[in-house]
Amino acid sequence: MEYKNKKYRFGVNMADFCRKHEAYIESEAGSGKDAGKLLSYHMAKLSWLQHERLVHLIVTMFTALFLTAFLILLHFMPGLPAALAVIILTVLLVFYFIHYFRLENTVQRWYIIAGELYEKSGAGRG
């Protein structure tokens, strides 16, 4: 099984995972595969991505909360430890925002793909 491969030992590259999924959906939809089955498969993957997005939103919000707490601490008790914590959390939060932005854009793009598959499957016709 692919998940036992050592290259996944430290996690899955989500950008690569999403690109491969989009390429697969595009190639299968172009080859005339059953759009209903593709839609079902795509919706399962979309559900996973939405979960990933929710987890990252929660982590991002807690990181922002801790940053705010350390900013308040730095204001009332200036010192090197609080300043270092503020710097580290600020850098971390910037990267979380970038990652969350990419996740959000991917989810929005996948909603469009789901809509197109829904129309192709004929489910959109009353």
Contact between 97 and 90 (Cβ < 8 Å): no
pLDDT score for 122: 80
Cα distances (Å, whole numbers) of residue 71 to 86, 92, 98: 6, 15, 21
What is the predicted pLDDT for the residue at 2?
59
Query: What is the reported pLDDT for 15?
Result: 86
Q: What is the mean pLDDT of each run of 10 residues along the chain (126 residues)?
A: 64 86 91 89 94 94 97 95 96 95 94 93 67
| The pLDDT value given to residue 24 | 93
Radius of gyration of the chain (CA): 20
Task: Give residue 1's pLDDT.
Answer: 55
